[in-house]
A and B are shown apart, each in its own frame.
Chain A
Amino acid sequence: MIHFDNVSKRYPGGHTGLSNVSFRIEAEEMVFLTGHSGAGKSTLLKLIGLLERSSGGQVHVNGRNLTRLKNSKIPYHRREVGMIFQDHRLLHDRTVFDNVALPLVVSGLGHKETGRRVRAALDKVGLLHKEKEPPVTLSGGEQQRVGIARAVVSKPPLLLADEPTGNLDPELSREIMDLFSQFNQVGVTLLIATHDIELITRMNKRILTLKKGTLDGDTQAEGSA
């Protein structure tokens, strides 16, 4: 599903985001990405979602060589990658429903089908009763769930999450992780960047560790190959 081959990212101004990172994530895996602040976690996710382009090496996602993808094709790539952010990135002048519907509106889905899928996604994250509210009236955890509903509403095969539980208390964090596990069980590939070591050790999944832009560790989940 994701294949990094000797990937580097230098930012303008000489900052190094990533250097010579190689790994492979298969379809239907659930993988955590960890490392100190500034290690390059966000950079790695941005390369997968094509928010940034690599400055060296090859990035393949879902059978597509991103290094060669034309700018005009980026939107169609992003539609196949659900992205979740620590700061939710919701539109505050729209209702919860409209926020979640956005990916479907963008890809030009019909009215009825959109309504059906948005409600299914909101139901999944337990916020169907808030569909008419604006996001500001929701708690941080609820807003994060709206962001998750938006990321999964178009049923992308791959979900990326950058510090999805960053601002949430342990209880809420666990709820969010359970939600991710449920998506993983129905075949979605997940890559989740987080600082929260305690949380991810408990999840017992594969962990990629970054250190100053290089891959420092790749530990498989206990009890799996």
Chain B
Amino acid sequence: MSLSTLLRAPQIWLQRHAQVALSSLGRLFNNSLASFMTCAVIGIALALPIGLHVILNNLQTISGGWDSGASISLFLEQSVSDEQAAALAQKLRLHQRIESVELVRKDAALAEFRRLSGFAEALEALDNNPLPALLVIQPKSDYSTAETAQLLVRELGLLPEADIVQLDLQWVRRLQAITVIAQRAVLVLATLLGLAVLLIIGNTIRLEIQNRQAEIEITKLIGATNAFIRRPFLYTGFWYGLFGGIIAWLLVAISVTLLRGPVSNLANLYESAFDLSSLDWMNILALLAGSAILGLIGSWLAVGKHLSAVEPS
């Protein structure tokens, strides 16, 4: 083989592949309605777990952001006076695990309650203040994770002045636990729907092989290798996967866009600047690559099973 043919060989190989890739793409477009429906089914199947994944990611951002900001509310007994409360606050400020202590006196607590609850008139009727003093305790940052804060809560609960100790982290932890479960569920769902996509593509390719049986036979007669015959079907599977992935991406992106307004309204009510995040570029690349690979595998399975059955006679 001369040097020039050696150099041309990969070029011809690429040329052939590009040609097969484009002609299978052309075939999809020629039959655009059926192809679109197949891609849409794949897209919807993929969009479901991916959309849930996006929601979970956002929940994690919320709960993760609150994790380190754990604060402990120590409600004192009704009988503890403001002065005693101030003394206790002073003592706790020296505690090695405590960063700061904020004292909310009984009056202040009542004023706050009045302002927020809307029971102002009802409270006016009471002669004495029913509310206890409150110490809002910020653990040192080393002790502010959910587990260590819990230890501090138990210790504070043993104080004689203590009535109720509340870790504001409780709901965050529950949310985190739920998130972990939900993540598992999404993983299972993704696996199942991934399998469904494999089956959809496999079945579509199987039908395609049936429709083109005569063509496959003739091409084999002429000396086509199995690899040659397989190639257009693999590309078809690849395109189905890729377009399905693109549709999934669009569905998720549109849904996030629709949700972004209401969510930021809700966040504003909680005085938070939380912004709903969508798929980033890495996610999108992974989604498209993953769906294309899924398409390839699906068609590979179908082709492996059904192509060898077609023999010329």
Q: Which residues does A use to contact B, with CB under 8 Å?
A: 46, 49, 51-52, 72, 75-79, 83, 89-91, 93, 102-103, 105-111, 150
Residues of A within 8 A of B312 (CB): 51
State which of B67-75, B222-230, B234-242 sits at the interface with chain A.
B222-230
Interface string of B1-19 (1 = CB under 8 A from A): 0000000100011011000
Decide: B12 and A108 in contact? CB cutoff 8 A: yes
Decide: A79 and B12 in contact? CB cutoff 8 A: no
> Are A108 and B215 also in contact (CB < 8 A) when A78-B223, A150-B222 are?
no
Decide: A111 and B15 in contact? CB cutoff 8 A: yes
Interface string of B181-196 (1 = CB under 8 A from A): 0000000000000000
B12, B15, B225, B228, most chain A CB atoms within 10 A: B225
Decide: A76 and B222 in contact? CB cutoff 8 A: no
Write the nearest CB–CB distance from A18 to chain B, whole angstroms.
16
Residues of A within 8 A of B31 (CB): none
| Complex-state Cα separation, A77 to B222, whole angstroms | 10
Tell me if B177 is interfacial: C-beta within 8 Å of chain A: no
A-B contact pairs, 16 of them (CB 8 A): A49-B221, A51-B221, A52-B313, A72-B226, A75-B220, A75-B228, A78-B222, A89-B221, A90-B218, A91-B215, A93-B215, A106-B222, A107-B223, A108-B16, A110-B12, A110-B15
Tell me if B219 is interfacial: C-beta within 8 Å of chain A: yes
Residues of B within 8 A of A49 (CB): 221
Residues of B within 8 A of A106 (CB): 219, 222-225, 228
> Are A75 and B225 also in contact (CB < 8 A) when A108-B13, A110-B8 are?
yes
Q: Contacts A106-B223, A110-B8, A110-B15 known; list 11 others, CB within 8 Å.
A: A51-B313, A72-B226, A75-B225, A75-B226, A78-B221, A93-B215, A102-B219, A103-B222, A103-B223, A106-B225, A106-B228
B12, B13, B219, B222, most chain A CB atoms within 10 A: B222
Q: Which residues does B use to contact A, with CB under 8 Å?
A: 8, 12-13, 15-16, 214-215, 217-226, 228, 311-313
| Complex-state Cα separation, A49 to B223, whole angstroms | 10
The A-B contact count (CB < 8 A) is 55
Decide: A89 and B16 in contact? CB cutoff 8 A: no
Decide: A76 and B223 in contact? CB cutoff 8 A: yes
Residues of B within 8 A of A72 (CB): 225-226
Residues of B within 8 A of A46 (CB): 313
> Are A75 and B223 also in contact (CB < 8 A) when A51-B313, A91-B215, A110-B8 are?
yes
Write the nearest CB–CB distance from B215 to chain A, whole angstroms.
6
Write the nearest CB–CB distance from A136 to chain B, whole angstroms.
14
Partner of A102, one of B16, B222, B226: B222
Instruction: Give the 7 A-B CB pairs with smallest separation, nearest first.
Output: A79-B223, A78-B223, A106-B224, A75-B225, A75-B223, A103-B222, A89-B218
Chain B's closest residue to A105 (CB) is B16
| Complex-state Cα separation, A166 to B223, whole angstroms | 25
Chain B's closest residue to A113 (CB) is B12
Residues of A within 8 A of B15 (CB): 110-111
| Complex-state Cα separation, A77 to B311, whole angstroms | 15
Residues of B within 8 A of A52 (CB): 313
Write the nearest CB–CB distance from A211 to chain B, whole angstroms.
23
Write the nearest CB–CB distance from A95 to chain B, whole angstroms.
13
Residues of B within 8 A of A90 (CB): 218
Residues of A within 8 A of B217 (CB): 89
| Complex-state Cα separation, A89 to B215, whole angstroms | 9
Write the nearest CB–CB distance from A206 to chain B, whole angstroms.
26
Residues of B within 8 A of A79 (CB): 222-223
| Complex-state Cα separation, A76 to B226, whole angstroms | 11
